């Protein structure tokens, strides 16, 4: 009886949803599903932090009615300053699950999820009559689109094309195509500065670098983080032996002996652990004080973000090869980006 009442309650809410009569645009999401959405979209629920960040930068926060409950953990505590209105949004679900009753009560026209959201989660939302759009920010071959660690013939092409397709798709769905285009163009401009100055750098002279995360986890091949390091002129020491995001042994890190260690901005305690743990003191990066906490715009995630590509790679290249980027004022560069896309000043670390 309780189950029947719950189903009736969901159906009653569902019948009041305003989008069904307006569903007249069809898109292909990034796992190959055909999704029909209303002509005008003003109410979205976002269960993926990458998409949430992109919508904020497109100045589409007013269209968001619900967010993943752990968005602060995923985006960092400081992100609340960039989009304080997110704290007022309904919090529900995460990357892999959602409460259907809370979801339906928000009357969303579209729900954005990650590409590896469980199929049963996607089907459950779709069965309620709510369009679900999966975002990967990768262009994958058939059969690889829903995987966290896909097999890619060409990582560079997969992420470069996938980022453009993902941003364009999100922008089109929420009726912000020009904002999406501006993000892509800004990304291209920043990357060109780095590629122009490092194009003559021989492989043998690339700086050996390591991305340190909590619990000795790191990024190897198959993730944007490795491409970020490569674009900035680094040789990712984990690329040859680690696929995706995995833990490694301390003995392995010592054997790699990186010259530079990077730590994501959301893990500042890792920097202190590295500097104070006796095991790390034999590594060149620690001995030469080249352990860097990354600024929040240099998002070394498994998936690319425009600011990571557009200015984060420039920051990383400047840390690796300061003499080649001596004239670049990263605070000014970051502030320009934040003024344009976050509509506030940059106040983070340099």
How far apart (Å, rounded) are the C-alpha atoms in residues 187 and 191?
A: 6
Chain segment 192-238, per-residue pLDDT in tens: 999 999 999 998 999 999 999 999 999 998 888 889 999 999 999 99
Helix or strand run (H / E) with residue 180? helix 177-198
CB proximity list for 228: less than 8 A, separation 6 or greater: 298, 300, 304, 308, 309, 312, 313, 316
Q: How confident is the model at residue 18 (pLDDT cuts 50, 70, 90)?
A: very low
Same-domain pairing of 20 and 147: yes
Nearest Cα residue to 174 out of 114, 110, 103: 110
Chain segment 262-288, per-residue pLDDT in tens: 999 889 999 999 999 999 999 999 999
Same-domain pairing of 208 and 317: yes
| CATH code of the domain in which 50 resides | 3.40.50.1980
pTM: 0.86
Question: How many residues are present in the chain?
Answer: 350
Contact 110, 175 (CB under 8 A): no
Same-domain pairing of 143 and 289: no
Residue 243 confidence (pLDDT) above 70: yes
Model pLDDT, residue 106 = 98
How far apart (Å, rounded) are the C-alpha atoms in residues 271 and 101?
A: 42
Same-domain pairing of 239 and 289: yes
The residue with tokens 């990582």 is: 155
Give the pLDDT mean for 63-76.
Answer: 93
Q: Is 187 part of a structural domain of the chain?
A: no
Range of the domain at 96: 2-175
Chain segment 149-158, per-residue pLDDT in tens: 788 888 889 9
Contact 247, 212 (CB under 8 A): no
Count the domains in the chain. Answer: 2
Model pLDDT, residue 8 = 47
How far apart (Å, rounded) are the C-alpha atoms in residues 66 and 47?
A: 8
Chain segment 156-200, per-residue pLDDT in tens: 899 899 999 999 999 999 999 999 999 999 999 999 999 999 999
Q: Is 302 part of a structural domain of the chain?
A: yes
């Amino acid at each position: 009886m309780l189950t029947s009442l719950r189903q009736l309650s969901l159906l009653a809410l569902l019948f009041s949803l305003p989008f069904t009569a307006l569903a007249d645009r069809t898109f292909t999401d990034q796992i190959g599903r055909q999704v029909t959405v209303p002509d005008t979209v003003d109410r979205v629920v976002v269960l993926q932090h990458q998409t949430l960040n992109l919508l904020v930068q497109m100045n589409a926060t007013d269209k968001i009615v619900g967010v993943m409950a752990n968005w602060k953990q995923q985006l960092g505590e400081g992100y609340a300053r960039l989009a304080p209105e997110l704290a007022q949004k309904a919090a529900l679900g995460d990357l892999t699950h959602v409460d259907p009753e809370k979801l339906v009560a928000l009357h969303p026209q579209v729900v954005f999820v990650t590409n590896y959201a469980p199929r049963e989660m996607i089907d459950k939302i779709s069965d309620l009559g709510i369009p679900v759009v999966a975002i990967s920010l990768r262009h994958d071959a058939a059969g690889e689109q829903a995987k966290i660690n896909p097999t890619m013939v060409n990582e560079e092409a997969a992420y470069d094309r996938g980022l453009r397709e993902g941003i364009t798709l999100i922008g089109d769905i929420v009726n912000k195509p020009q904002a999406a285009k501006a993000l892509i163009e800004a990304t291209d401009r920043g990357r060109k500065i780095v590629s122009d100055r490092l194009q003559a750098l021989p492989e043998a002279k690339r700086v050996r670098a390591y991305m340190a995360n909590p619990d000795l986890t790191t990024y190897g091949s198959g993730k944007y983080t490795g491409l970020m390091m490569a674009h900035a002129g680094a040789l990712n020491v984990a690329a040859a032996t680690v696929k995706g995001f995995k833990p490694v042994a301390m003995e392995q890190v010592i054997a790699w002996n990186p010259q530079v260690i990077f730590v994501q901005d959301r893990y500042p305690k890792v920097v202190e652990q590295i500097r104070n743990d006796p095991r790390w003191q034999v590594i060149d990066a620690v001995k030469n004080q080249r352990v860097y906490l990354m600024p929040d715009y240099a998002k070394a995630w498994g998936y690319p973000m425009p600011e990571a590509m557009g200015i984060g790679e420039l920051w990383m290249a400047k840390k690796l090869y300061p003499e080649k980027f001596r004239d670049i004022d990263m605070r000014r560069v970051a502030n320009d980006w934040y003024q344009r896309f976050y509509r506030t000043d940059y106040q983070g670390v340099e």
